[in-house]
């Protein structure tokens, strides 16, 4: 596996001046990002397919072990605050369970049966999207989760940093990010992990865009959870509805702090009518305003 090989250029990195080592690591991170460019079409196809499933009420199911599993969980937990994605529509399958998010759980990544059992226990089905992430592409737990998800009819994605691996073969949408050897051999939290997070960011953001979470470049599905975001929401409604701040704040209050509904109220729509219109449009504000 290329992610496990030692690059002779960095064999004595522990003897280098710290700044030189950091500059070399930074170059590696930039090179890792460059490997993603060739996967733009595949990521787009996966996002569009995922949005189709999720419109039917499905869930995002993230599966992984170790660093890759933690990177996958990070992507999922950010979708609620950013796009208002419901927590009950996100499932996390982490080898070793929640404890493995902070502690290593010996042997967990080799337990394929545990992954199959967890897919069954979660009731994964045709409306769901299973995303397996493994730098090696061979982690038994992750491969089994994707295989079981696909057998249950779910849409499946596999993200790997090595070619010709079981994970890529198991997934309906294989995404290869061939980042090569690491500066610190086997430390996939570096180039491989950074590239995984970037791919997940691209995939999930594109999926949320297709689901109406973005309108005119704004996160209109954003969850208002603090004062800063409250001010941002008022500015957003004021700009999108072309009203003053006071009107925007009143609309947000009337809408129960739902930005999309507040925009429609600020533009003169009745609250109940706004609910119906957004429901019929699948939450897509552009479709409602266009109509």
Q: Which residues are catalytic?
A: 78, 109
Residue 48 CA to residue 41 CA, distance in Å, equals 11
Asked whether the beta carbons of 58 and 221 are under 8 A apart, the reply is no
Which residues is 174 bridged to in the sheet?
Answer: 158
Contact 175, 159 (CB under 8 A): yes
* Helical ranges in the chain per DSSP H: 18-34, 40-54, 66-83, 112-121, 140-151, 166-170, 191-210, 227-241, 245-254, 259-266, 271-280, 285-290
Q: What is the DSSP string of 126-160?
A: TT-EEEEEESSS--HHHHHHHHHHHHTT-EEEEEE
Using CB atoms within 10 A of its CB, is residue 187 exposed (0-12), middle (13-18) or buried (19+)? Answer: middle
Residue among 155, 144, 162, 147 at smallest CA distance from 203: 155
Q: Which two tokens stand for residue 167?
A: 């994970």
List the 155-160 sheet strands across, edge first: 90-94, 60-64, 129-134, 155-160, 173-176
């Amino acid at each position: 596996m290329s992610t496990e090989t030692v690059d002779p250029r960095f064999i004595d990195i522990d003897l280098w001046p710290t700044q030189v080592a950091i500059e070399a690591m930074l170059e590696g991170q930039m090179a890792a990002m460059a490997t993603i460019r060739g996967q733009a079409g595949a990521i787009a196809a996966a996002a569009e397919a995922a949005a189709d499933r999720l419109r039917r009420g499905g869930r995002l199911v993230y599966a992984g072990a170790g660093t890759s599993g933690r990177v996958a969980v990070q992507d999922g937990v950010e979708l609620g605050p950013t796009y208002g994605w419901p927590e009950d529509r996100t499932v996390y399958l982490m080898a070793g369970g929640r404890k493995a998010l902070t502690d290593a759980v010996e042997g967990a990544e080799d337990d394929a049966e545990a992954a199959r059992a967890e897919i069954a226990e979660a009731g994964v089905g045709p409306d769901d999207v299973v995303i397996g992430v493994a730098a090696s592409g061979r982690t038994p737990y992750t491969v089994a989760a994707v295989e079981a998800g696909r057998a249950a009819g779910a849409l499946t994605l596999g993200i790997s940093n090595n070619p010709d691996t079981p994970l890529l073969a198991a997934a309906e949408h294989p995404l290869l990010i061939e980042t090569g050897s690491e500066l610190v051999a086997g430390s996939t939290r570096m180039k491989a992990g950074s590239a995984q997070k970037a791919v997940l960011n691209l995939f999930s953001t594109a999926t949320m865009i297709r689901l109406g979470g973005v309108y005119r470049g704004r996160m209109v599905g954003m969850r208002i959870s603090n004062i800063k975001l409250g001010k941002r929401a008022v500015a957003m409604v004021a700009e999108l509805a072309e009203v003053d701040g006071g009107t925007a704040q009143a609309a947000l209050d009337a809408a129960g702090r739902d930005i999309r509904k507040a925009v429609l109220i600020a533009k003169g729509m009745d609250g109940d009518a706004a609910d119906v219109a957004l429901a019929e449009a699948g939450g897509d504000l552009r479709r409602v305003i266009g109509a």
